Amino acid sequence: MNPSVYNLGMEINLVGLASTAATFLGVWIGHVSVRKIEREVERIWIPSVLALTLGIGLEITSLWADSLVISTICGILGITLLWDSLELAYRQPRRVTKGHAPANPHNPRHARILAEHPEATVIDLLARDPRGVPFSDEEIRAIRGQTK
């Protein structure tokens, strides 16, 4: 019998439940915390290396876990942490540089980005509802010009 399948009136495979929860929580928490940490932390390599180390640690744990449920959770959370490490070190700062994510002027690293990259902005351009029509260059300039 499959040891991960439990009979709760009907057969429930806990591997599926673990995979669902680990994927959604890993992506959700990773997405939110990458934005928050990248915004607040000046020396971004520190959380990036932490995420990398934790991700590798979870992957190694998944290899030695006897339980498929534990192995699944560690495998998925580990890989999302490895991705978060890349997001922290490279992808999110690049979004800030291009103005696709708001810069935090109180963070010295972001203050440098704001000074050196004219596209960078403190405005969250995504904090609006879709309107179904593209913005003109003048409209985007007007939105950006609210503070910069």
Partner 1 sequence: MNWFGLVIGVSTLCIIGMGFAWVIRGERYFGYLWWPYVMGVGIILMVISVLVTNNYGSALLGAMGASLLWGSTELKEQAIRGELGWYPFRDGKMQPPFAKIIKKWKAPSL
Residues forming contacts to partner 1 in the complex (CB under 8 A) are 2, 4-5, 10-21, 23-24, 27-28, 31-32, 59, 62-66, 68, 70-76, 78-80, 83, 100, 125-126, 128-135, 140
Least distance in angstroms from the C-beta of 102 to partner 1? 13
Would you give the DSSP letter of residue 12?
E
The answer to whether residues 37 and 47 touch, using CB atoms and an 8 Å cutoff, is yes
Closest distance between partner 1 and the C-beta of residue 42, in Å?
Answer: 26
In the complex with partner 1, the residue whose CB is nearer, 100 or 111, is 100
Strand partners, 12: 6
Smallest distance, partner 1 to C-beta of residue 148, A = 16
* Cβ proximity to partner 1, 43 vs 64, nearer residue: 64
Rounded to whole angstroms, how far apart are CA atoms 139 and 132?
15
User: Shortest Cβ distance from residue 34 to partner 1 (Å)?
Assistant: 12
Beta bridge partners of 104: none
Phi/psi of residue 9, nearest 5 degrees: 85, -45
Nearer to partner 1, 43 or 127 (CB): 127
Cβ–Cβ < 8 Å for 97, 67: no
Choose between 43 and 146: whose C-beta lies nearer to partner 1: 146
* Contact indicator for 13, 67 with CB cutoff of 8 Å: no
